[in-house]
């Protein structure tokens, strides 16, 4: 049924009004019901998929589905909450696209969302997470960690699964006449559904972008999003600014990448106002570059944060973002922006025309996202907090090389994979019909059935009219084979885990501590630490009849006269390996072909028994070129060359012990002095 122009005008007037959003949603539904464009129906979850534009195009996160599902089980299901859906499109191509987007969502969840059956006829705009969770329970789907949950049949959720609840069902023609209306309904749904999830910064950005694409002004798009339950309300000005500047243009490709990439990492978390303002408004000292790719990479990295506080990501902070704009970091930042820009162009060139979501783009987005995260954690020196904590990243060039390797693994889609093969259901054999009804069952794939076989993983070897043959291959034991009737194959689920297997001897050999670089480095560090402690015990002076320390300011003095070359001070402290390519600090040990930086432990500056007192770090540097009585030299200790201070000449009693200004530094300082005018 076509939507009369007068109805469109009436609905748009309500949508653009200033009443509370839930009041406007109710009035719009009343208008549509009055004209026969909306009706209330009882729907069960198996009839409902997620609308592709839900949550700014992000649809639902399988992590959030299960997190909110567990919350639902804890507080009890409330089916009286506002639920709105659209009829699926009557246009075959658009309907196929709607189904395909949901199939992609299931595929990306790796088995933690219920599969699309093909019998669905509606697309949710409210209660989307609840509906998806109930579909998972009905289908027996496992959660993102691979665990199955058991809910008693007496729980109210089973009543909702079997008998459904009342929905406002809006005709598909309404969306065709008013493409922005689904976004409006979803904003209202966020305000009314207690088991839902408040809009995050990225979702808000996507919703703003969609409305701008549909012709709204940036200001009105922000106001529309703000009318719902927006947890990031204080950040909306910064989010709007980001969308207008750094999203990649009018089609917002960088925002689409962020939306897709973020859905692969855990439950949705908030970025926080401080971070968003820094991300949007930090100015880099480079008037010719706004650094949009670096900002994209910062946001992508924050989405991967496992470090959270009160639901806010804490992997990166405002200070991290602002620190990147400092002059001393600009060379690395420029290099990173250039690499990210070139890599993004490569990703865009390999995306199929007319789409940004398919199997190929999933791989490309994942590769680019990993590049972003690695680059940002390298620049902010937080590599140990990222997913590649066990992999040493020495330079941006190495990170770019990893991206190139990752991208090269993309599997190009074949025509057979892109288009469904036409099947003749009339003449199909029973085993063929079974495969058509259970699209997740494929010969060669691996499956589990926890209720009957525990955690064992089985591979489907063959299928015929008698049933399927599956095999489990335990380590160093005979294979276990089970024969499953055709009717029972549908209960098996795609395994998230692999078949047990003995590792290749060459890889195991390389990973053993006797040959692995990580273990070797730990051994070398231990040797360096031991050598430094031995050097301190054998060379450094701790005689308090000879030395004394003073506070305010921190200083070291000689109580008695000290003969030439009789005073040695060793910088005992923490040890860390200097990264390849980085300039070593002045206090560094040379050993095993590497530099090992020496750091000072906390010194007890006010003599309150709250730190160490290492004489070396109490010896201050003299101010004048001709002052000082200690010089920096080195000494061999086992496999190490250790820096120490010693006195080349006699030190008088009661004299302050000072390190001479290094010749190179003194020369540099003298060159900077301007001559006085005569």
Domain total in the chain: 4
Do 415 and 432 share a structural domain?
Answer: no
pTM of the model: 0.51
Per-residue pLDDT tens over the stretch 223-247: 888 876 677 888 899 999 999 989 8
pLDDT of residue 127: 83
162 within some domain: yes
Structure tokens at 66: 């299960």
User: Which three-class secondary structure state does DSSP give residue 522?
Assistant: helix
Decide if 11 is inside a domain. Answer: yes
Q: Indicate the helix (H) or strand (E) that contains 86.
A: strand 84-87
Let me know: does 84 contact 190? Beta carbons within 8 Å.
no
The band of 129, judged by pLDDT with boundaries at 50, 70 and 90, is confident
In a domain, 676, yes or no: no
CA distances from 240 to 218, 293, 537 (A): 7, 17, 62
- Tell me whether residue 243 is in a domain: no
**Secondary structure string (H, E, C) spanning 445-456:** CEEECHHHHCCC
For residue 356, the model assigns a pLDDT of 42
Q: pLDDT tens-digit profile of 76-114? A: 776 655 588 999 988 888 888 888 888 888 887 878 889
Band of pLDDT at residue 421, cut at 50, 70 and 90: very low
Write out the two tokens for 642.
């250790």
Whether 122 and 45 share a structural domain? yes
310 and 376 part of one domain: yes
Torsion sign across C-alpha atoms 400, 406, 411, 413: negative
Say if 210 falls within a structural domain.
no
Q: Rounded CA gap, 379 and 330, in Å?
A: 10
- Single out the residue of 587, 552, 567 nearest to residue 655, CA to CA: 567
Q: Which of 164, 197, 230 is the last residue of a domain?
A: 197
Residue with tokens 């902070």: 317
Angle between helices 330-350 and 292-303 (to 10 degrees): 80
257 and 370 inside one domain? yes
Q: Is the pLDDT of residue 571 over 90?
A: yes
Distance CA 588, CA 611 (A): 22
Does residue 340 sit in the same domain as residue 315? yes
pLDDT digits (tens, 9 = 90+) for 199-230: 788 888 888 888 888 788 888 888 888 876 67
Whether 334 and 481 map to the same domain: the answer is: no
C-alpha distance from residue 672 to each of 180, 442, 627, 661, 669 (Å): 64, 75, 19, 15, 5
The reply to whether 8 and 146 lie within a common domain is yes
- Domain span at residue 70 reads 1-197
CB 98 within 8 A of CB 52: yes
Distance CA 181, CA 172 (A): 11
Residues 99 and 161 both lie in one domain: yes
375 in a domain, yes or no?
A: yes
For residue 555, pLDDT beyond 90: yes
Answer yes or no: is 241 within a domain. no
Confidence of residue 159 (pLDDT cuts 50, 70, 90): confident
Q: Residues 437, 360: one domain? A: no
Are 294 and 326 part of one and the same domain? Answer: yes
DSSP state for residue 491 in the 8-state scheme: G
Between CA 415 and CA 423, with CA 419 as vertex, the angle to 5 degrees is 120
* Cα distance between residue 223 and residue 70, in whole Å: 33
> 655 and 592 in one domain?
yes
Q: Tell which of 421, 437, 468 closes a domain.
A: 421
Contact 427, 447 (CB under 8 A): no
Q: Tell me the CATH number at 522.
A: 2.170.270.10
| 390 and 536 belong to one structural domain | no
- Domain-located, residue 289: yes
Pick from 257, 357, 236: which is nearest to 299 by CA?
257
Mean pLDDT lowest among 8-22, 71-85, 479-493, 660-674: 660-674
The answer to whether the CB of 359 falls within 8 A of the CB of 417 is yes
* Cβ-based neighbour number of residue 610 at 10 Å: 10
């Amino acid at each position: 049924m076509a939507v009369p122009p007068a109805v469109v005008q009436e609905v748009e007037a309500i949508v653009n009004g200033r009443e509370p959003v839930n009041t406007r949603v109710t009035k719009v539904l009343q208008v549509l019901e009055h004209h026969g464009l909306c009706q209330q129906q009882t729907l069960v979850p198996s009839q409902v998929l997620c609308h592709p534009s839900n949550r700014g195009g992000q649809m639902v996160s399988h992590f959030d589905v299960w997190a909110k599902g567990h919350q639902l089980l804890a507080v009890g299901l409330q089916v009286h909450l506002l639920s709105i859906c659209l009829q699926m499109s009557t246009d075959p191509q658009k309907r196929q696209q709607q189904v395909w987007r949901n199939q992609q969502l299931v595929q990306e969840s790796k088995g933690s969302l219920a599969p699309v059956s093909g019998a669905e006829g509606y697309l949710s705009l409210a209660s989307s997470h609840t509906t998806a969770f109930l579909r998972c329970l009905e289908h027996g789907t496992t959660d993102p960690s691979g665990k199955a949950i058991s809910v008693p049949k007496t729980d109210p959720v089973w009543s909702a699964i079997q008998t459904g609840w009342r929905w406002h069902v809006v005709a598909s023609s309404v969306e065709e006449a008013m493409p922005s209306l689904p976004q409006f309904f979803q904003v209202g749904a966020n305000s009314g559904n207690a088991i839902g999830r408040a809009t995050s910064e990225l979702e808000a950005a996507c919703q703003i972008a969609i409305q701008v694409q549909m012709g709204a002004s940036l200001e009105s798009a922000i106001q529309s999003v703000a009318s719902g339950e927006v947890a990031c309300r204080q950040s909306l000005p910064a989010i709007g600014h980001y969308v207008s500047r750094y999203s990649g243009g009018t089609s917002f490709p960088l925002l689409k990448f962020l939306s897709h990439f973020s859905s692969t990492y855990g439950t949705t978390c908030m970025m926080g106002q401080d971070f968003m303002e820094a991300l949007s408004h930090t100015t880099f000292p480079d008037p010719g570059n706004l650094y949009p790719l670096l900002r994209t990479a910062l946001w992508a990295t924050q989405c991967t944060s496992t470090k959270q506080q009160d639901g806010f990501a804490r992997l990166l902070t405002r200070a991290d973002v602002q620190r990147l704009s400092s002059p001393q970091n600009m060379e690395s930042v420029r290099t990173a922006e250039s690499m990210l820009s070139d890599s993004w162009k490569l990703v865009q060139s390999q995306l199929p025309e007319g789409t940004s979501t398919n199997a190929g783009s999933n791989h490309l987005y994942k590769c680019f996202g990993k590049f972003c995260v690695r680059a940002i954690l390298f620049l902010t020196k937080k590599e140990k907090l990222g997913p590649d904590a066990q992999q040493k990243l020495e330079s941006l060039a190495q990170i770019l090389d990893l991206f190139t390797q990752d991208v090269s693994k993309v599997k190009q889609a074949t025509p057979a994979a892109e288009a469904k093969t036409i099947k003749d259901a009339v003449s199909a054999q029973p085993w063929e019909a079974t495969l058509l009804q259970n699209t997740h069952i494929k010969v060669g794939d691996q499956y589990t059935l926890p209720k009957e076989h525990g955690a064992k993983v089985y591979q489907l070897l063959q299928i015929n009219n008698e049933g399927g043959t599956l095999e489990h291959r335990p380590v160093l034991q005979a294979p276990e084979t089970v024969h499953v009737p055709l009717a029972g194959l549908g209960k098996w689920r795609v395994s998230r885990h692999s078949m047990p297997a003995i590792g290749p001897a060459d890889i195991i050999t390389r990973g053993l501590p006797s040959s692995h670089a990580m273990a070797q480095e730990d051994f070398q560090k231990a040797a360096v630490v031991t050598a430094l402690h031995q050097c301190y015990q054998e060379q450094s002076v701790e005689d308090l009849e000879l030395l004394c320390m003073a506070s305010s300011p921190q200083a070291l003095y000689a109580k008695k006269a000290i003969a030439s070359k009789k005073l040695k001070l060793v910088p005992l402290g923490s040890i860390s390996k200097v990264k390849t390519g980085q300039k070593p600090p002045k206090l560094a040990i040379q050993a095993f072909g590497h530099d090992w930086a020496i750091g000072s432990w906390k010194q007890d500056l006010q003599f309150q028994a709250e730190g160490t007192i290492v004489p070396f770090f109490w010896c201050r540097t003299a101010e004048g070129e001709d002052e000082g009585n200690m010089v920096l030299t080195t000494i061999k200790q086992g496999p190490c060359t250790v820096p120490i201070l010693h006195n080349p000449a006699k030190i008088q009693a009661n004299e302050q012990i000072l390190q001479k200004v290094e010749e190179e530094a003194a020369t540099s300082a003298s060159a900077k002095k301007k001559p006085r005018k005569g």
